[in-house]
Structure 1
Amino acid sequence: MSIASEPMPPPLASADRAELAALAEDTIAKGSKSFAAAAKLFAPEVRKSAMMLYAWCRLCDDVIDGQHLGFSRRPVAEQPEPMERLNHLVIETLRALDGDTGLHPAYLSMADVVRRHALPTRLLIEHLEGYRMDVGETRYETIEETLSYCYRVAGVVGVMMAIIMGARGDRALDRASDLGIAFQLTNIARDIVEDARLGRVYVPAEWLTEAGLEPRDLTDPARRDEVAGLAMRLVDFAEPYYSSSLVGLSALPARSAWAVATAHGVYRQIGLDLKAKGAAAYGQRVSTSRAAKLRHVGLGALKVAATRIPLPARRSPKLWTRPSGRAIGAERTSGDRRTRL
C-alpha cells in the first residue's frame, strides 16, 4: 500500500445528503429488517450517517455475491468474474473518496460519511479485504482465522458505526468490534448450509475434523445433526463477544446506545432460536419475529439504563482483538489530509 496525501472534498450540502439518506433508508428497509428496526432509535443525524454507511456495505455485499439487496442471485454467465467485481468496488470507492460524483449513490453516501466523521480510510480497505478473502476462496484452518475474517466483514463495520456515534479510544472501539464479530458468527451459524452450497466454508477445518465432517458434508441432509452441532458451537462461541460488547454502551450517547443494545438483542436472538430448533433448522434461514424485535427494543432500554449506573469498572474477557494501530480520534482523515491506497 502506497501513501499519498491530498485535499479531501467537503461533506455534502444538506439537501443532497437528505436525498442520499432517503435512498439508503429504502435500501435498509428491503435488505436488513433487523438493522432497520434498530436504526429508528438513532438521533436523526446519526441515523442518516449509519444508514448511508450501511448502503455502501450492502452494495459491496451484493456486488461480490451477484445479488440485489441480498436476494435474486443473477446467473453466473451474466456476471463479471469475482476478482473483477472486487476490483470494481475498490476503484469506485477510491473514486468517490476523490470527489467523483458520477457514481452509484451508495459510494457517494460512503464518501460523505467518511468526510463528515473523519473515518480512517484504512477501515474501508480492511472491509474490502474481507471480500477479497471471499473472492479468493480462503479456507480457514483455525477459529482464529475465522475470527480474522469476521473482523474484516463485520467487526470493522462496528468500529466505523461507533465512530459515527461519537465513540473514541481503543476500549470503546474494541467493544464495537466485538459486537460486529458476534453478529458475523451468528450469520455463519445460520447460513452454514447456504454458504456451503456456494462453495464458502467459514467453519474452521479443525472444527469440521472434530465433528467428523468434510466440507462437502455440510450440504448433505443426512449429516444435519452434525451440522446443527457446528451451528450450536458457533452460537456458543459468539456469547462472550455479545457479553463484552455491552461494556461499550457506556461510551455512546443514550439514543445510540439504545439502538445498539436493540440490535444486540435482536441478532443474538437469531442464535438462540437457531439453538432451540437444532437439526430442524437445517437449510432454513432463521429470523427474528416482529414481536421479538419489539421486545428487544424494551430490553435494549434496560441494558442502556444499567450502563448509566456507576459501578466498579468491569474487565472484559480476553477475546480476539482487532489489529492494533494509532488510536482513532488522533488520526486525521478529513479536512485537508487523508491516506490513500
Structure 2
Amino acid sequence: MSEALMQHATQTIEVGSKSFAAAAKLFDAETRRGVLMLYAWCRHCDDVVDGQELGFVPAASAPAPHDAARELALLRDQTRRAYAGEAMRDPAFAAFQEVALKHGIEPRYAYDHLAGFAMDVEQARYETIEDTLRYCYHVAGVVGLMMASIMGTRDPAVLDRACDLGLAFQLTNIARDIVDDAQIGRCYLPAAWLREAGIPQDEIALPRHRAALAKVAARLVDHAEPYYDSACAGLAALPLRSAWAIATARLVYRQIGIVVKRRGPHAWDERAGTGKLTKLWLLLRGGLDALSSRIRTTMTPRPARLWSRPAADSAVAVAPAGGAAGGRHAVRATAV
C-alpha cells in the first residue's frame, strides 16, 4: 500500500506540474515523499471541486451534473476522518492522512485550504489587492505552511516566509492565467486595478484590452517581488536539500512572471513557462542560493508593509462539517 501511494503521488505531480516535479527531486527521500503526498491531496481536492482530472475536464459525451458545494462538503468530511485516523480508501486521502499525521500538519491549515475553494464556488469578488492576497493565502500560502511542516519547520517567523512564497507563486499564477480564468468566468485581479485600467470585468478576455491588461499583469508581477524576496530569507532555516528545492522552485516561478511581463500584450498568446535549459540554469542558481543561505547568522526582518497571514486565533478555519464550498487554483502554488 505504501509503495502504491507513492506511485500514485509521483504520477499525479508528473502530469500536473512538470516544473515542481523537477524541483521536488532535490528533496531527501523522506521529505520528497511527504511533499508528493501533499501535492496529490491538493490536486485531488482541486479536481473534485471543479469536476476535472489533473486540471482538465474529462472527455465525455454527456458529463454528469456537477455540484461543487456538495463535493467540497464531502472533502471536508473526508479530511476530518483522515485526521481521526479512519481508514481511507481514496489514494489521495490515504496519502494526505499519512503525511498529515506523520508530520503534524495542523488541521486548521487543511481546512483553511479547503476554505479557498468556497471563494470560487461563492463567486467571491476581489475589490482590492488585499482581497486578492487573502484568496492567495487560502489556495497557496497555506500550502507553503503545510510544506514547511513537512520540512520540520515550526518557527512562526519561518512559517511567515513560507506563506510569503505561496503568495508570490499565486500572484504569478494569476498574472499568467488572467485570460484563461476570464474565459471561464473567474477573475482574481483587484477590481479597483481594472477600473483604473479602463477594463470592464466582463471584457477581460477581449483582445482589444490586451495592452491595458498587460500593464495590470505587470503590476501584479511587480507586487509579487517583495514576497519572493521575503521568502528567500527563510531558506537558512531549512535543511540544505530542502533549501535547494525551494530556492529552485522560487526562481522558476519568478521567471514565469518575468516572461509574462516581458511579453506584454502577447503574454496570453501561449502559456508562459520556462524551457529545459532555463530550468537547468535556475536549478544551479537555486543551489547557490541554498549554499549562500548557510552563512547567514540572522534572518532579516520581514517588511511591515507585506500582507500577513491570519493569526492562529483568527484564521478562517472551516469547520469539518457543514458550510459552503468550492475552488480552482488550490494547487497553483505547486502546479506550474
TM-score normalised by length of structure 2: 0.89
Aligned residue for 1:8? none
Given residue 67 of structure 1, which amino acid in structure 2 is its aligned partner?
A: Q
Q: Per chain length, whose mean CA-contact separation is higher, i.e. which structure has more relative contact order (CA < 8 Å, sep 6+)?
A: 2
Cα distance per residue 1:169-192 (max 9 Å; x no partner): 110000000000000001100000
| Contact persistence 1:261–1:301 (CA under 8 A) | yes
Cα distance per residue 1:215-249 (max 9 Å; x no partner): 11211111111111111111110000000000100
Deviation of 1:291 (Å): 1.1
1:73-92 aligned at under 5 Å gives the runs 77-92=63-78
1:236-315 aligned at under 5 Å gives the runs 236-311=222-297, 313-315=299-301
Aligned residue for 1:104? 90
Structure 2: runs of 5+ lacking an equivalent: 314-318, 322-336
Distance in 2 of aligned mates of 1:64 and 1:287: 26
Distance in 2 of aligned mates of 1:73 and 1:264: 31
In structure 2, the CA distance between the partners of 1:106 and 1:281, relative to structure 1 (3 Å rule), is same
Q: Count the aligned residue pairs.
A: 314
Q: What secondary structure is seen at the aligned counterpart in 2 of 1:99?
A: coil
Pick aligned residue for 1:48 from 33, 37, 50: 33
Q: Does 1:126 align with 2:112?
A: yes
Q: What secondary structure is seen at the aligned counterpart in 2 of 1:78?
A: coil
TM-score normalised by length of structure 1: 0.88
Given residue 20 of structure 1, which amino acid in structure 2 is its aligned partner?
A: L
Q: What secondary structure is seen at the aligned counterpart in 2 of 1:219?
A: coil
| Contact persistence 2:5–2:91 (CA under 8 A) | yes
Pick aligned residue for 2:7 from 19, 22, 25: 22
Deviation of 1:77 (Å): 4.8
Deviation of 1:43 (Å): 0.4
Distance in 2 of aligned mates of 1:74 and 1:100: 33
Q: Does 1:325 align with 2:308?
A: no
Q: Which moved more, 1:284-293 or 1:92-101?
A: 92-101
1:104-253 aligned at under 5 Å gives the runs 104-253=90-239
Given residue 265 of structure 1, which amino acid in structure 2 is its aligned partner?
A: L
Distance in 1 of aligned mates of 2:262 and 2:110: 36
| Contact persistence 1:194–1:283 (CA under 8 A) | no
Aligned residue for 1:330? none
Distance in 2 of aligned mates of 1:165 and 1:123: 15
Deviation of 1:103 (Å): 2.5
Structure 1: runs of 5+ lacking an equivalent: 1-15, 327-338
Distance in 1 of aligned mates of 2:65 and 2:158: 40
Distance in 2 of aligned mates of 1:117 and 1:312: 26
| Contact persistence 2:243–2:290 (CA under 8 A) | yes
Deviation of 1:74 (Å): 5.7
Deviation of 1:91 (Å): 2.0
Deviation of 1:65 (Å): 2.1
Deviation of 1:38 (Å): 0.4
Distance in 2 of aligned mates of 1:185 and 1:291: 24
| Contact persistence 2:127–2:192 (CA under 8 A) | yes
Distance in 2 of aligned mates of 1:313 and 1:92: 38
| Contact persistence 1:56–1:110 (CA under 8 A) | yes
Distance in 1 of aligned mates of 2:50 and 2:241: 33
Q: What secondary structure is seen at the aligned counterpart in 2 of 1:201?
A: coil
Deviation of 1:284 (Å): 2.7
CA RMSD of aligned residues (A): 1.7
Deviation of 1:283 (Å): 4.8
Q: What secondary structure is seen at the aligned counterpart in 1 of 2:287?
A: helix
Given residue 309 of structure 2, which amino acid in structure 1 is its aligned partner?
A: R
Pick aligned residue for 2:47 from 62, 78, 81: 62
Cα distance per residue 1:68-123 (max 9 Å; x no partner): 11123567952422212221221222233333335310011001111101111010
Aligned residue for 1:4? none
Distance in 1 of aligned mates of 2:234 and 2:178: 29
| Contact persistence 2:182–2:204 (CA under 8 A) | yes
Deviation of 1:315 (Å): 1.9
Deviation of 1:168 (Å): 1.4
Given residue 146 of structure 2, which amino acid in structure 1 is its aligned partner?
A: M
Given residue 322 of structure 1, which amino acid in structure 2 is its aligned partner?
A: R
Distance in 1 of aligned mates of 2:23 and 2:78: 29
| Contact persistence 1:183–1:268 (CA under 8 A) | yes
Distance in 2 of aligned mates of 1:211 and 1:67: 33
In structure 2, the CA distance between the partners of 1:204 and 1:102, relative to structure 1 (3 Å rule), is same
Distance in 2 of aligned mates of 1:179 and 1:212: 30
Aligned residue for 1:332? none
